[in-house]
Amino acid sequence: MKKIIVLFWFLTLGANIYAQETAGYTYDRYYAMLDSLLVVFRVNIENDLSLSGYSISKQTSDDIQTVVNSFILEVFFIPKHSSIIALAGATSSMNKKFFKQNRGFRFVKRAYFETFRRDMQDNNKLPYDIIDYFKFQFITPYDNSSIYGEYKFRVNENELFEIAEKEIEILQNEDEIMCKHRSVF
């Protein structure tokens, strides 16, 4: 009985110390860097689309929701693990996947994601040594149709993002848009 009480006391003490250490730990810098990443990718995509002959109209230059109606930003780590780090306008099944992705018995995937998030939070920089590439998928209005795009961004030796691969598809009618939205998002 004495061993159980001592064990319980140590567990309580450990939980209390952990709670005190993480109480002031917020992800403010993480979300600020995530917003910056979204802006960088959006600008790169807009420039690439305009060079390809597509001009996307937008209401304001600061609001990404008016430019990109549905998007998913996913980071791929070097040993073929990935985590969705941002999404908007997704289906309920994709939202469930987003909130459940780093739980459970995926220890290696969770470790890579926590390292990614911790480096962004503590060091205010991306951990380039574990990132393979970012994938940004979106559907946005274009004239009387929509554009589906899938871009893969890699980091070059100057720590700048460059487009590694891209796929652009014009969706002509509402059925094509909804089919693509359900299949991807």
pLDDT in tens, 104-131: 667 778 888 888 888 888 888 888 888 8
Residue 154 identity (one-letter amino acid) = R
pLDDT band at 65; cut points 50, 70, 90: very low
Structure tokens at 3: 């061993």
Q: pLDDT value at position 10?
A: 54
Mean pLDDT computed over 157-162: 81
The H or E element spanning position 166 is: strand 161-171
pLDDT in tens, 25-45: 555 788 888 888 888 888 888
Q: Is 70 exposed, middle or buried (CB count within 10 Å of its CB: 0-12, 13-18, 19+)?
A: buried
For the chain, give the number of residues: 185
Q: Mean pLDDT of all residues in the chain?
A: 76
pLDDT band at 63; cut points 50, 70, 90: very low
**Which one, of 176, 182, 179, lies nearest residue 90 by Cα?**
182
pLDDT in tens, 171-182: 888 788 788 877
Q: How many CB atoms lie within 10 A of CB 181?
A: 19
Q: pLDDT value at position 14?
A: 55
Are the CB atoms for 103 and 89 separated by under 8 Å? no
